[in-house]
Homo-oligomer: A and B are copies of this chain.
């Protein structure tokens, strides 16, 4: 018999399931799902404010309508008579560099700004430097500007909640770097505000998530949206229809207000 291989995620014993060392039954009812996601990916339970921020981060990306390729791929597969799980999987497979991936790319670039800042540059100098490098390489800064949203309310809400949780309070790290990039664009006369991907990249970096896991957080957040789209496709639409990627209309309720909001 060969050596057993190691895993540090979850321990299974008779009548006990422990995630990263915490009895799962004690987590149930005690922590939010956002906190549990933080725990399973980073190995530690977050404090309550950070847990609430995690929930807000996941809520921010729960869905973006029927246009993203993940929703379209999931619906296309569903329309052939596929199972729920195969259809949702096709949606997950669409979360890559071009879809969801701006979070990770932005985090890496902000990481370069922070690293330069830590060598002695001001944050604004560091941001300008990194933008010049990108421009020289013919690349765009990921996480800034948006095709649909010029002033995405999710972005300001994320920064508000991050501030409430005490994340990057003095602006010396990733959120400060993101603000410096925004200023650097403005100095060139470009209105390229941080978008929701940029905000997520900055905040998740600050929370300690490695860039290569960030797309995983986007998958976690988006799975409910994919389940909802596939479920709607299966119950409401004809099989094998031609799914136009843009020509659709929302016909659900409008203008509802959350009780506590």
Question: How far apart are the CA atoms of A183 and B225 in the complex, in Å?
Answer: 39
Binary per-residue interface labels of chain A (118-160) against chain B in the complex, 1 for a CB within 8 Å, 0 otherwise: 0000000000000000000000000000001111111011101
Contact, CB under 8 Å: B59 / A81: no
The answer to whether A223 and B228 touch (CB under 8 A), given A21-B254, A32-B32, A76-B69, is: no
Main secondary structure of the interface of A (DSSP, over half): mixed
Binds B, one of A5-13, A108-116, A173-181, A184-192: A5-13
> In this assembly, does A198 line the interface, its C-beta being within 8 Å of a C-beta of chain B?
no
Chain B residues positioned under 8 Å from A59 (CB to CB): 24, 27-28, 31, 33, 36
Q: Residues of A at under 8 Å CB distance from B?
A: 1-2, 4-12, 14-34, 36-37, 40-41, 43, 45, 52, 55-56, 58-60, 62-67, 69-70, 72-73, 76-77, 79-86, 88-90, 92-99, 101, 148-154, 156-158, 160-161, 164, 212-213, 215-217, 219-221, 223-225, 227-232, 234, 236-237, 239-261
